[in-house]
Amino acid sequence: MKKYMFLIITCFLVMLTFVLINFVSARSFNNDFETGDLTDWEEKTGEAFDFQPTWGDNPTARNRGQPSNHQGDWWLGLAEKYQGPDKGAKLGQKAGDMNKNAAGANAPDLPQGTLTSIEFKIIGVSMNFLMGGGNHPWGVDPGPCCVNLVINGKVERTMTGSNTETMTRREWDVSELKGKTAQLVVIDKNSGGWGHPNFDDIHQANAAGDNIPWDRVLAVQAEGKLAVSWAQMKKYY
């Protein structure tokens, strides 16, 4: 009887472990900023991201003539200073507001900074996202406004906007990087004309061009035992 009881308990513990592993693995990534904050973007430098993400089509709200083409409600628009009808209103912001200088004048390109995502595994053959803002490439003076895919401190892929607030769908071929651990870094290091990036809605895609759910991408992360803190896990469970 004791032997059977031992086997039953062992089987139960194995099944419980399996369930817990999958439970912990099934987390998602704030790939479209729809949390309304910078959850999963674990390192911020400078001041450029102090009022990010922004809410709604703020360029249209100020009659810019270049709709943002964002996904959902929230997106990174580094010229913008409007965080929606709830949070923004409490901060005295209104639709159409932009970054300002110390004198209170509009200075949409003034702030600089960087924003770095959590680590994730590359399991697709491509990555796609919405990109707009300034065309200031990585490695070109006086300073880049871009998004970089970084692996082991090396920039493997980079993308800029095309000097318009309107974001369009861009794509990287990452097939040769499959299996590697990467991070995304949004960079705003330019205070001149068009000195800001716009960014939203990041995905990995398979060979058929279908987007891969981020909970599947990060399940690989959890099972591969990449660095994920308990604080990060608590945000989901």
Please say if the pLDDT value at position 8 is more than 60: no
- Is residue 168, in this structure, part of any structural domain at all? yes
Question: Which CATH number belongs to the domain containing residue 132 in this structure?
Answer: 2.60.120
Q: Is 201 left (phi over 0), alpha (psi -120 to 50) or beta?
A: left
Task: Look at residue 142 in the predicted model and tell me its pLDDT.
Answer: 80
Q: Could you tell me which of 69, 89, 58 has the C-alpha nearest to residue 169?
A: 69
More confidently predicted of 192 and 17: 192
Compute the mean pLDDT over every residue in the chain, rounded to the nearest whole number: 87
Boundaries of domain holding 154: 29-212
pLDDT digits (tens, 9 = 90+) for 136-154: 999 987 899 999 999 999 9
DSSP E strands, the chain: 43-46, 54-55, 74-77, 113-116, 120-121, 126-133, 145-151, 154-159, 164-173, 181-188, 197-205, 211-212
Q: Could you tell me which of 149, 187, 191 has the C-alpha nearest to residue 170?
A: 149
Q: Per-residue confidence at 75, pLDDT binned at 50, 70, 90?
A: very high
Q: What is the DSSP string of 188-207?
A: E---STT--EEEEEEEEE-T
Q: Per-residue confidence at 39, pLDDT binned at 50, 70, 90?
A: very high
What number of residues does the chain have?
Answer: 237
* Angle ∠(186,189,194) on CA atoms, nearest 5: 90
- Is residue 104, in this structure, part of any structural domain at all? yes
Q: For residue 20, which phi and psi values (nearest 5 degrees)? A: -65, -40
- Is residue 237, in this structure, part of any structural domain at all? no
- Is residue 219, in this structure, part of any structural domain at all? no
Please say if the pLDDT value at position 201 is more than 90: yes
Q: CB–CB of 200/2 below 8 Å?
A: no
pLDDT digits (tens, 9 = 90+) for 108-147: 999 999 999 999 999 999 999 999 999 999 998 789 999 9
Mean of the pLDDT values across residues 56-80? 97
Q: Per-residue confidence at 15, pLDDT binned at 50, 70, 90?
A: low
- Is residue 13, in this structure, part of any structural domain at all? no
Please say if the pLDDT value at position 13 is more than 90: no
- Is residue 217, in this structure, part of any structural domain at all? no
Q: State the Cα–Cα distance between residues 175 and 17, nearest whole angstrom.
A: 33
Please say if the pLDDT value at position 227 is more than 70: no
- Is residue 140, in this structure, part of any structural domain at all? yes
Counting the structural domains of the chain, the total is 1
- Is residue 54, in this structure, part of any structural domain at all? yes
